[in-house]
Structure 1
Amino acid sequence: MQKLNLPDCDLRIKSEEGNQFVFDIIRKKYLVLTPEEWVRQHFVHLMINHLKYPKSLISVENGLKYFKNQKRSDIVLKNRQGGNFLLIECKAPDVKLGRNTLTQISQYNKQLQAAYIAMTNGLQHYIWEYQAKLGSYTQLKEFPTFPTKS
Structure 2
Amino acid sequence: MQALNLPPFAHKLTQSGPNLLIWDVLRRRHVVCTPEEWVRQHVVHYLITHRGYPRGLLSLERGHTYNQRRKRTDLVALDAEGQPLLLVECKAPAVPISAAVAQQAATYNQTIGAPLLLLTNGLDHYCWRVDFAARSNVRLAEVPAFPVAPPPARPG
- Using the alignment, how far apart are the partners of 1:17 and 1:132 within structure 2? 47
1:8 aligns to what? Answer: 8
Whichever residue aligns with residue 41 of structure 2, its letter is: Q
2:101 aligns to what? Answer: 101
2:24 aligns to what? Answer: 24
The secondary structure found in structure 1 opposite 2:74 is strand
TM, length-normalised to structure 1: 0.96
1:61-76 aligned at under 5 Å gives the runs 61-76=61-76
1:143 aligns to what? Answer: 143
1:79 aligns to what? Answer: 79
Offset at 1:68? Answer: 1.5
User: Identity, % of aligned pairs?
Assistant: 40
- Using the alignment, how far apart are the partners of 2:71 and 2:42 within structure 1? 22
What's the CA shift string for 1:58-78, capped at 9, x where partnerless? 001111111121111001000
1:48 aligns to what? Answer: 48
1:91 aligns to what? Answer: 91
Tell me: CA distance 1:125–1:148, structure 2 relative to 1, closer, same or farther (3 Å): closer
Where in structure 1 do 4 or more consecutive aligned residues deviate above 6 Å? none
Equivalent pair of 2:89/2:105 in contact (CA under 8 Å): yes
What's the CA shift string for 1:100-141, capped at 9, x where partnerless? 010000001100100100100000000000112211211111
Deviates more, 1:89-98 or 1:133-142: 133-142
What's the CA shift string for 1:26-50, capped at 9, x where partnerless? 0111111100000000110000011
Whichever residue aligns with residue 12 of structure 2, its letter is: R
1:108-147 aligned at under 5 Å gives the runs 108-147=108-147
- Using the alignment, how far apart are the partners of 1:90 and 1:81 within structure 2? 25
Tell me: CA distance 1:105–1:148, structure 2 relative to 1, closer, same or farther (3 Å): closer
- Using the alignment, how far apart are the partners of 1:33 and 1:146 within structure 2? 27
How many correspondences in the alignment? 149
Structure with the largest fraction of strand = 1
Gaps of 5+ in 2: 150-156
The secondary structure found in structure 2 opposite 1:41 is helix
TM, length-normalised to structure 2: 0.92
